[in-house]
Amino acid sequence: MDTKQEYFMKLAIDEAKKAEGKEEVPIGAVVVLDGEVIGGAHNLRETTQNAVTHAELLAIEQACEKMGTWRLEGAELYVTLEPCPMCSGAILLSRIKTVVYGAPDPKAGCAGTLMNLLEDERFNHQCEVVPGVLQEECGWLLTSFFRKLRARKKEEKIKRKTQLEQDTGIDNV
């Protein structure tokens, strides 16, 4: 494994952990150009209640602002989860050269799992795709988050049922 790729993926993992701290799905991304991080972000969909505030889009936006251009030619994007169709479109439109991702996304992955938009030669631009960098760690962040979320929802359901029983005096509602 390329230690440079692992280094930048660990920065993306740090971003993902920031998302988890905000009870967001723990996905993080960094944009790198010539060995320098020019953008970094994490998911903020729950915080913003905005469907497009994915880690990749926010990191690309930050990189474009820093560079003063929408063309991120030569840049690499490191992201903890395989990009979705929306993010893949933004990656192509921003001319990112390489996408390195951690965990595959069996529900929305468009960098090789469900389809591969990033390397599709029908588009004006293609990206090199490097899958599976620190895959176990990236996957564990997501698995752990969703296990905790399901447990919390189950606990809340039990509390609501108990409260309803107490409020109404009815058992087995």
So which residues are the catalytic ones? 56
Secondary structure of residue 89 in the 3-state scheme: helix
Q: Say which residue the tokens 């049922």 belong to.
A: 161
Can you tell me the distance from the alpha carbon of 162 to that of 148, in angstroms, rounded to the nearest whole number?
A: 21
Amino acid at 149: L
Judge residue 125's burial from the number of C-beta atoms within 10 Å of its C-beta, 0-12 exposed, 13-18 middle, 19 or more buried: middle
Can you tell me the distance from the alpha carbon of 131 to that of 62, in angstroms, rounded to the nearest whole number?
A: 23
CA 117, distance to chain mean position in Å, is: 17
Secondary structure of residue 147 in the 3-state scheme: helix
Can you tell me the distance from the alpha carbon of 158 to that of 164, in angstroms, rounded to the nearest whole number?
A: 10
